[in-house]
Chain A
């Protein structure tokens, strides 16, 4: 009874808008208190995040992403994709999808994409006669597209949390960042391609931008310093020149030099400290959640909660296929309520042992997980992208809702593909023998 009341109070506090770290911290404190353990045991666990090998990648990639967002990279990216893809009927929609996906891979999904790119792309779409409803739906959807591409922050965080859950045993196979970076590529392309096919079919009669070599070369030259970055980063990691974390250090220095000294988009003294502070605030918001969840996760695993949860689920669900359906429904709801970072931190440690017991590869699970969270951003009534879009484009929520319906359905189809064809996620990893 008492436990129920406390749980209810915490749920209410969470829904009223208490910071997630405080809710997790409170649960941890109560849990440790209930077993008579001193609360400092929770801090022992919290301090363990300082021994996670990939921890450093988080602030570095965040800072690199924020610098890109604050520079004129979005403009150049859009201009380049327009020059290369604008000639396809419906091509401007494809431009939007591709540039948003690339951009989100570097900034992590936090609404930055809709704010930074939405404002650039919306007028272009409307100018080329794309309907208002289509344009809104497209841009709202594109806001979280790209989560699956390296070096997205959610992929890194999933790798960290999964490796930590793995250290408690339970036969969970290895989930390295190197594997995750590769695993997301094909599923990410599937999402972009399916959305592109729909967009092209739907807009076959809109205006196109004639292709010209001159134009394409000019835009290529304009972004000559930015285009190589993904290739250098991935080439460096998989060519064995650096680890993912070292790749993050390389990316920061590369972006800093390019944006400050080559393009002069950002000033070293005026902009860089400000952008640094902005990224530090996001890093702090994520890390304190991670820290407060560590104690709780440890407690739950000590109490064998994932195992008991598994026994319970297994008594109802016998087949892997049905389990996957339920998992997807559950994760979409999680993705609708929580941002992608806290969702990973809170849910992954509980789900990984269960999914492993059902024979799901944790790398594949990660991709399923992130695809669901991506969809959760669009799920009515409370998906975050709906609100960001409504705010950015000055439209009512019902207008935005109507506009995303077809895109939402396509994402569900992609999700089914990604879930039930594990090879989409694992093929490249096995083929390239990534360890």
Chain B
């Protein structure tokens, strides 16, 4: 169990670094396109599809961080009226439900990517190199697995806090945790 929490913390640090790098590169590339088109009347053909796929990566990793920080969008009716203790119990139920859905979606994504590898589609061609579409699609199963991991960690923490045991809050949101 501690191993799982440890793994989560390491992954969080890696993800954060990767996201900042990815987002910065996206901004540079997107802005270069504007300049290239207006000043030199040219553009990189591969940039637009690549950028859109990068948004998908950004989105899925962002969604896994949203899980970690409990920032998913929900219809929060119960939370506004229930007592804290009741809210905690309800959370475990909704977490288990979300976990089940994510695992099923991860499995569906696995089938999807395996099928797509067979199709041999090309996403973009950069300098003569064909980037296979499935490379980008890998984020789908990976993303759902990451989200599942985060939910599992959340459930463990919650159950532990019921029994009075608390784990160190490594990587819990923006405070603490490696930036």
Contact = CB atoms under 8 A, between A and B. Distances in A.
B73 A273 contact: no
B93 interface: yes
A197 interface: no
Contacts of B55: 50, 55-56, 58-59, 283, 287
Interface string A238-252: 000110011011101
A276 B23 contact: yes
Interface string B98-133: 100110110111011001000000000000000000
Interface in B27-85: 27, 30-31, 33-34, 37-38, 48-49, 51-53, 55-56, 58-66, 69, 71-80
B101 A59 contact: no
B101 A47 contact: no
A277 B65 contact: yes
Nearest to A289: B73
A341 B31 CA distance: 26
B16 interface: yes
Contacts, number: 203
In this complex, the interface size class of chain B, counting residues with CB under 8 Å from chain A, is 35 or more
Interface string A49-68: 11111011011100100000
A21 interface: yes
Interface residues of A, number: 66
A44 B140 CA distance: 10
A331 interface: no
A54 B179 CA distance: 30
B26 interface: yes
B172 interface: no
A260 to B, nearest CB: 13
Nearest to A292: B105
A287 B73 CA distance: 11
A250 B37 CA distance: 13
Contacts of B59: 59, 283-284, 286-288, 291
A45 B80 CA distance: 34
B27 to A, nearest CB: 5
Interface in A68-104: none
Given A246-B34, A250-B34, A281-B69, A16 B78 contact: yes
Interface in A269-296: 273-274, 276-278, 280-289, 291-292
Top 7 nearest A-B pairs (CB, nearest first) are A284-B62, A287-B59, A284-B63, A249-B30, A19-B72, A39-B108, A43-B112
Interface of A: 13-22, 25-26, 29, 38-40, 42-44, 46-47, 49-53, 55-56, 58-60, 63, 241-242, 245-246, 248-250, 252-253, 256, 273-274, 276-278, 280-289, 291-292, 337-339, 341-342, 382, 387
Given A277-B19, A284-B59, A288-B72, 4 more contacts: A16-B94, A43-B112, A249-B33, A280-B19
